């Protein structure tokens, strides 16, 4: 049996380990587009702040991969999937055949249309590559402007404050607002950020980000002009499934799966932030975001790929850690 897993994040790695526990002989191929060993994205801020080392970020070492007999295709992007012939096409046009396929490609941050033309002046805070780049510049960074409502933006601001940087957060709302947290958590996010020393500009939004010498000038709708060393933006987060365009697999925002994480295509599973799971309670599909869910889904998908029939137990809440402070987020009402 040949198991192919696209995406070497939390869900993909857990699935590979789970398959190996059950099937000691099967061939496992793990395809990851990043130029690193598989790593734990949710620990990036700890690495950014220096509380863990780069090595502690990695979920599998070269020795682990060898011991588990996992062929890791590092730095190789899956470009498309031919479901009829059970083949994954890689960026360099090599094809990898499979008997069972797991898609675990996670999600990626998006910048809204208003700032898209300034994208080259904006810094993302999402991957190990981003963090290494920011770390390189950090000594010369004093002031950062941050915009967006992604939960990781919150993590980033707390991290920057920990590193004694000046942080200015711009929000369109009357108070700092992170959609999935605010209504369900007893922690006031606006107050938490203010107490950390973040300057919050409310009821406003950036309209341009221009580079002048080695600084960035951010102009806002209400006429503020801010000078920053780095400008971060993260408007929303979407599953990484563009490579499945023009295929027959059912999808809405993410890949649609049932409670056993099976997609509409036979022998193809999806798990983690790229999957939308059917929730019988709300009778609809939903992305069950976050790393604890990705781990559990990876485990369920891995088991079911080997022939078991296990249901994924949907979690209604998850805890998002912002430098030691737990914030509860609820996905289901």
Ligand X SMILES: Cc1cc2nc3c(=O)[nH]c(=O)nc-3n(C[C@H](O)[C@H](O)[C@H](O)COP(=O)(O)OP(=O)(O)OC[C@H]3O[C@@H](n4cnc5c(N)ncnc54)[C@H](O)[C@@H]3O)c2cc1C
Enumerate binding residues for ligand X (CB under 6 A): 6-12, 31-34, 41-42, 44-45, 77-78, 104-106, 125-126, 152, 155, 240, 243, 272-273, 289-292, 294, 318, 320-321
Which residue's CB is nearer to ligand X, number 105 or number 304? 105
Which residue do the tokens 């983690």 mark? 272
Which residue's CB is nearer to ligand X, number 48 or number 216? 48
Q: Closest distance between ligand X and the C-beta of residue 85, in Å?
A: 18
> Among candidates 100, 58, 66, 107, which has minimal Cα distance to 83?
100
Q: Give the Cα separation of 273 and 292 in Å (integer).
A: 11
Residue pair 233/148 in contact (Cβ under 8 Å)? The answer is yes
Q: Closest distance between ligand X and the C-beta of residue 212, in Å?
A: 29
Q: Closest distance between ligand X and the C-beta of residue 89, in Å?
A: 10
| Phi (first) and psi of residue 117, to 5 degrees | -75, -10
Q: Closest distance between ligand X and the C-beta of residue 44, in Å?
A: 4
Q: Give the Cα separation of 187 and 11 in Å (integer).
A: 29
Determine the length of the chain: 333
Q: Closest distance between ligand X and the C-beta of residue 151, in Å?
A: 7
Q: Closest distance between ligand X and the C-beta of residue 1, in Å?
A: 21
> Among candidates 287, 284, 299, 282, which has minimal Cα distance to 255?
287
- In eight-state DSSP terms, residue 33 is -
Q: Which residues have C-beta within 8 Å of that of residue 179, sequence separation ≥ 6?
A: 149
Which residue's CB is nearer to ligand X, number 16 or number 176? 16
Q: Give the Cα separation of 307 and 309 in Å (integer).
A: 7
Which residue's CB is nearer to ligand X, number 102 or number 201? 102
Ranked by CB distance to ligand X, the top (closest) residue is: 9
Q: Which letter, b or e, does each residue of 53-85 get, where b requires 16 or more Cβ atoms within 10 Å of its Cβ?
A: eeeebbbbeeebbeebebebbeebbbebbebee
Name the helix (H) or strand (E) containing 171.
none
Q: Give the Cα separation of 308 and 305 in Å (integer).
A: 7
Which residue's CB is nearer to ligand X, number 229 or number 299? 299
C-alpha R_g of the chain: 21
Q: Closest distance between ligand X and the C-beta of residue 43, in Å?
A: 8
Which residue's CB is nearer to ligand X, number 144 or number 226? 144
Which residue's CB is nearer to ligand X, number 26 or number 292? 292
- In eight-state DSSP terms, residue 39 is B
Helix (H, G, I), strand (E, B) or coil at 56: helix
Q: Closest distance between ligand X and the C-beta of residue 90, in Å?
A: 8
């Amino acid at each position: 049996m040949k198991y192919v897993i696209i995406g070497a994040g939390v869900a993909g790695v857990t699935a590979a380990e789970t398959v190996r526990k059950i099937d000691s002989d099967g061939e496992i191929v793990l395809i990851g587009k990043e130029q690193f060993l598989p790593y734990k994205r949710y620990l990036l801020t700890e690495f950014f702040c220096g509380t863990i080392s780069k090595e502690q970020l990695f979920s599998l070492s070269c020795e682990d991969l060898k011991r588990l007999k996992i062929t890791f295709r590092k730095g190789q992007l899956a470009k498309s999937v031919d479901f009829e012939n059970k083949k994954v096409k890689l960026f360099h046009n090599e094809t990898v055949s499979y008997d069972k396929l797991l898609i675990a490609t996670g999600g990626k941050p998006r910048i809204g249309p208003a700032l898209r033309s300034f994208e080259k002046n904006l810094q993302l805070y999402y991957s190990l590559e981003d963090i290494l780049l920011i770390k390189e510049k950090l000594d010369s960074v004093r002031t950062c402007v941050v915009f967006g409502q992604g939960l990781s933006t919150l993590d980033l601001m707390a991290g920057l404050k920990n590193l004694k940087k000046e942080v200015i957060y711009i929000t369109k709302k009357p108070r700092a607002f992170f959609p999935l947290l605010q209504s369900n958590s007893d922690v006031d996010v606006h107050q938490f950020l203010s107490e950390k020393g973040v300057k919050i500009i409310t009821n406003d939004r950036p309209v341009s980000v221009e580079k002048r010498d080695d600084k960035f000038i951010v102009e806002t709708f209400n006429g503020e002009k801010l000078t920053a060393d780095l400008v971060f933006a993260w408007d929303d987060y979407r599953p990484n499934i563009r490579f499945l365009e023009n295929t027959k697999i059912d999808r809405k925002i993410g890949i649609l799966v049932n409670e056993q994480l099976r997609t509409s295509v036979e022998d193809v599973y999806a798990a983690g932030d790229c999957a939308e799971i059917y929730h019988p309670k709300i009778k609809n599909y939903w992305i069950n975001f976050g790393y604890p869910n990705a781990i559990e889904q990876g485990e369920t998908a891995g088991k079911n790929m080997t022939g078991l029939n296990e249901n994924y137990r949907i979690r209604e809440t998850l805890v998002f850690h912002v430098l030691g402070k737990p914030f509860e987020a609820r996905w289901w009402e």
